[in-house]
Amino acid sequence: MAPTAGIDWASEAHEVCVSDDGKVIERFAAPHDERGVAALAERLKRAGIARVAIERPDGILVERLLAAGLEVLAIHPNQVKAARPRFAVAHGKSDRFDAYVLAELARTDAHRFRALVPDSDETKALRALTRAREDLVGVRVELANQLRAQLAAFWPGALIFAEVDSPISLAFIGRYPTPVAAKALGAGRMAAFLRRQGYSGRTDPAELVARMRSAPQGTAGAAEVAARGAVVAGLLASLGPIVAEIAALDIRIREALAAHPDAAIFRPLFRDRRTTICPATLIAELGDARGRYPTEAAMAADAGMSPVALESGKLRVATFRRACDKRLRVAVATLADSTRHWHPWAKDVYRKARARGQDHPHAIRTLGRAWLRVIWRCWRDRVPYDPARHGNFNRLQAAGG
């Protein structure tokens, strides 16, 4: 049998262990720079390594190993932690030991782990865009919450729009950052302000002014108002560019989705064909390597839509699956939650789940699991979703549902 290798990844230097039939034949460290990464891939390839195990599924090192033609197994850190007692009775941990554990898992348990298959350049681009957008949305939410808290403390009258981080709300707060600045604001000036901003809402300017006037009046003194106004200005300066960048990413994602070969598969799953973020996330997280999910159960587990069974003696329970692709879980849950409102079959699955006593999140996972049976078949066969070929949907229609 060919030797195997385990790599304990690190930001500066990777610890490598090469094992042949359970015996360590070589250990070395590879620096995480161009020379080190190139030398590592070439060294392993020249040594005739059968497969390499590492604790992460992506990154430059993983991509370079795959490009060198090596079979790479991505093993979750929890699985490595659970495997350590197989090779040592002491509860120690070191990078060298973890590299050995990884090399042995690659030798003895390769059938238990999925070999990585690189996705296409289009899918990698879509993944980079959707994940960057998700990160920026998290920052936006955090800053928006801080801005809302500051305004609620001394100027709640500024919170007259539905979303504090909407463009019109940011423009209003920037123009009227304190109660003093808005003291002379009436319906006429509000109307003029809204026109300048191109406000498309249907709320009457007089109603907006009434909301502002009816808000609680703060008791902050001049010094505190000035200080909080400065904080608000700082938050606006940080929040504005992030909101703009998210909007720019939305455009990039829409363009990348339109050019992706798998877009046609997922587009019929959404009532509004202009929907982009959810289908783009589904494509980005599922990838386009069809061998990644040999069964629909594997896809459901990775998406966190199937429970984890706990059985011991008389105990038999199903618990929430935490170890999964959380981005994929959110995308599938978003799809399930949207389709339950308009798709007859999805509505029926959700209704029956609630009737069995499931709460809303549980029922959404039940519907998401049902959708993944359909999605997996479409994804595997590269065929767009077609309601005419959806058996359970057609049976429901025939029964008058």
| Alpha carbon 45 to its chain's center | 34
In the structure, what pLDDT confidence band is assigned to residue 395 with cuts at 50, 70 and 90? Answer: confident
Residue 227's pLDDT is 95
**Taking 80 as the threshold, does the pLDDT of residue 112 lie above it?**
yes
Residue 311's pLDDT is 83
Residue 378's pLDDT is 96
Beta partners for 115?
Answer: 73
Q: Which sign, positive or negative, has the C-alpha torsion 351, 346, 326, 290?
A: positive
Architecture of domain 4-112: 2-Layer Sandwich (3.30)
For 158-212, what is each residue's pLDDT tens digit?
999 999 999 999 999 999 999 999 999 999 999 999 999 999 888 999 999 999 9
Q: In this structure, are residues 290 and 281 in contact, taking their beta carbons and an 8 Å threshold?
A: no
In this structure, what token pair is assigned to residue 213?
A: 């006037």
Q: What is the DSSP letter of 201?
A: -
Mean pLDDT on 274-282: 95
**Taking 90 as the threshold, does the pLDDT of residue 313 lie above it?**
no
Distance CA 230, CA 226 (A): 6
Q: Which of 139, 159, 141 is nearest to 150 (CA)?
A: 159
Beta partners for 17?
Answer: 6, 27
Q: What is the DSSP letter of 115?
A: B
Radius of gyration from C-alpha coordinates of the chain: 27
**91: which residues sit within 8 A by CB, 6+ positions away?**
84, 85
DSSP string, 257-313: HHH-TTHHHHGGGSSSTT--HHHHHHHHHH-S-GGG-SSHHHHHHHTT-SPEEEEET
For 130-153, what is each residue's pLDDT tens digit?
999 999 999 999 999 999 999 999
In this structure, what token pair is assigned to residue 154?
A: 């001394």
Residue 91's pLDDT is 75
Q: In this structure, are residues 212 and 182 in contact, taking their beta carbons and an 8 Å threshold?
A: yes
For 40-76, what is each residue's pLDDT tens digit?
999 999 999 989 999 999 999 999 999 999 999 999 9
Phi, psi of 8 (to 5 degrees): -90, 105
Residue 401's pLDDT is 60
Q: In this structure, are residues 392 and 371 in contact, taking their beta carbons and an 8 Å threshold?
A: no
Q: What is the DSSP letter of 52?
A: E
Q: Which sign, positive or negative, has the C-alpha torsion 154, 155, 160, 164?
A: negative
Q: In this structure, are residues 400 and 336 in contact, taking their beta carbons and an 8 Å threshold?
A: no
- Tell me what the pLDDT averaged over the chain comes to: 93
Q: Measuring CA to CA, how many Å separate 44 from each of 37, 113, 333?
A: 11, 20, 42
% of the chain with per-residue pLDDT over 90: 84
Question: In a 3-state reduction of DSSP, which class is residue 5?
Answer: strand
In the structure, what pLDDT confidence band is assigned to residue 89 with cuts at 50, 70 and 90? Answer: confident
In this structure, what token pair is assigned to residue 277?
A: 């973020």
What's the CA dihedral at 131, 137, 143, 144 to 10 degrees? -170
Q: In this structure, are residues 180 and 157 in contact, taking their beta carbons and an 8 Å threshold?
A: no
**272: which residues sit within 8 A by CB, 6+ positions away?**
none
Domain ranges for the chain = 4-112, 124-257, 268-398
DSSP string, 327-389: HHHHHHHHHHHHHTTT-HHHHHHHHHHHHTT--HHHHHHHHHHHHHHHHHHHHHHT----GGG
Task: Specify whether domain 124-257 bears CATH 1.10.287.
Answer: yes
Entry pTM: 0.88
Residue at 39: amino acid letter: A
